[in-house]
Amino acid sequence: MAKKSTTKKESSSKEKSTSKKSKFNKETYLKWYESMLLMRKFEEKAGQLYIQQKIRGFCHLYIGQEALVAGAVSATKPTDNMITAYRDHAHPIGLGMDPKYVMAELYGKETGCSKGKGGSMHMFDNERNFFGGHGIVGGQIPLGAGIAFADKYRGEDKVTLCYMGDGAVRQGAFHEALNMAMNWKLPVIFIIENNNYAMGTSVERVSNVTELHNMADGYDMPNEQVDGMACEPVHEAISRAVERARKGEGPTLLEMRTYRYKGHSMSDPAKYRTKDELEKYKSLDPIDNALQVIKKNKYATEKELKEIQEKVKKQVDESIQFAEESDFPDASELYKDVYVQEDYPFLVD
C-alpha cells in the first residue's frame, strides 16, 4: 500500500531540482515565490516584534517550512478546507488572507482575524475555510476528520487538508482519527510536517518508527513520504491525494520532510541540533529554489523580481502599521464568542 515518492535523500540537491525541465508554468512559480516570500518576510518581522515585546505570549515561526503551504494551495480549490496546529501564521497568508489581520491578531488587537482573543496560536479565516490554529498537540486531527465527515455527509465536493507536527503522531487521537477516516473513506489528507523535532526531542528519540508515513499502513491508508523543501513535490503529492479524495476513495497520509530554521518557539535557543544540520537545510531553501527556477527560465526580469520584493515589503510594513494603530478589544468582549449550549442535558446544579 505504501507508495514512496521523492524523498529528500533522493532529490534534494538544488542543481537537481532546478536543472530538470519544469512541469509547472511561469504563473505557478511566480505565485509560489511571492506567497512564500510574504510568509517569510512577515515572520521575520514578527520575530523582531516579539523581541521588542510588541507581540506577547507564544510565537512559533514556520520559517523554512513555507513550501508545505504554498505547494498545497496551488493543488487545491479555494472551497477546500484547511486546519493545523499552533505553527499557523503561514497557512492563512498562503490562502490569501491579508497579512494585516494576522499581524493584528499577533498584537492581540480587536482587528485581528480572531478579534485579538486568540493570538499567535489561534488564527482563523471563515471566508477561506481555514479552521485554525490549535494549541493542543494533535487536537486538530480528529477535528479535521470531523470536517471531512460533515462534508461527506452533506454531499459537498470538498477536501480537508489536516496538518500536524511529527510530535502529534504519537497522540492516541491521531490513530483513532486515521482508523475512522479510512473506515468511512473520508475526504481528508493528513499532512505531517516532519521537521524532525517536537520541541527539543528528535523523531529518533521518541520511537523505533521514524518513517512516519508507514504509520498509515496500520490502517490500510495510502501514504507517501515527500520532499517538503520544494513546492513541486508537495503540489504533486497533494494533487494525487486530492484526486483520490474527490473520487470518494478516502484519505491519504503524507509525511512531508521539512525543517524549521528557528527554534521551536521564540524562547528556544535550539541547542539540541548542530549548526551543520541547520546549514544543510538552509542550502535547500524552498524560496531560493523557486527563485532559481524563475531566473533560469527567465520567468521574470530583475526589475519584475524587485517589484515583487517591494510589494511584499510594503504589505508587511502596512500590516505592522495596521496592528499598531488598532485598539485592544474592549473588556466587554470577554464573554462574547464563548460557546454555551444552554440545554446541555448533562449539567447538574
Ligand X SMILES: Cc1ncc(C[n+]2csc(CCOP(=O)(O)OP(=O)(O)O)c2C)c(N)n1
* Cα–Cα distance, 326 to 112 (Å, whole number): 9
Among 80, 125, 151, 193, contact with ligand X (rule: CB under 6 A):
193
Position closest to Mg ion via CB: 165
* Cα–Cα distance, 205 to 201 (Å, whole number): 7
Residues 235-254 that bind Mg ion (CB under 5 A): none
Residue with cell string 493543488:
75
Q: Which of 98, 95, 114 is nearest to 42 (CA)?
A: 98
Nearer CB in complex with ligand X: 22/265: 265
Q: Which of 306, 232, 164 is nearest to 23 (CA)?
A: 232
Note whether 167 binds ligand X by CB under 6 A.
yes
Note whether 136 binds ligand X by CB under 6 A.
yes
Nearer CB in complex with ligand X: 102/305: 102
Which range binds Mg ion by CB under 5 A, 158-166, 243-251, 265-273, 306-314? 158-166
Q: Cα-atom radius of gyration of the chain, to the nearest Å?
A: 20
Among 35, 81, 195, 289, contact with ligand X (rule: CB under 6 A):
195
Note whether 166 binds Mg ion by CB under 5 A.
yes
Most distant CA pair in the chain: distance in Å?
71
Count of residues that interact with Mg ion, criterion CB under 5 A: 4
Nearer CB in complex with Mg ion: 88/151: 88
Among 35, 140, 195, 225, contact with Mg ion (rule: CB under 5 A):
195
Residue 278's Cβ-count burial label (10 Å; 0-12, 13-18, 19+) is middle
Residues 247-306 that bind ligand X (CB under 6 A): 264
Note whether 166 binds ligand X by CB under 6 A.
yes
Residues in the chain: 349
Note whether 228 binds Mg ion by CB under 5 A.
no
Q: Which does 119 bind (CB under 5 to 8 A by kind): ligand X, Mg ion, none?
A: none
In order, the DSSP letters of 54-74 are SS-S-----TT-THHHHHHHT
Contact assessment for residue 212 and residue 174, using Cβ atoms and an 8 Å cutoff:
no
Q: Which of 73, 28, 68, 88 is nearest to 286 (CA)?
A: 68
Residues 199-218 that bind ligand X (CB under 6 A): 199
As beta bridge partners, residue 161 has 82, 189
Q: Which does 87 bind (CB under 5 to 8 A by kind): ligand X, Mg ion, none?
A: ligand X
Q: Closest approach of Cβ 93 to Mg ion, in Å? A: 20
Q: Which of 59, 109, 136 is nearest to 324 (CA)?
A: 109
Where along the sequence are the contacts to ligand X (CB under 6 A)? 87, 135-137, 165-168, 193, 195, 197-199, 264
Where along the sequence are the contacts to Mg ion (CB under 5 A)? 165-166, 195, 198
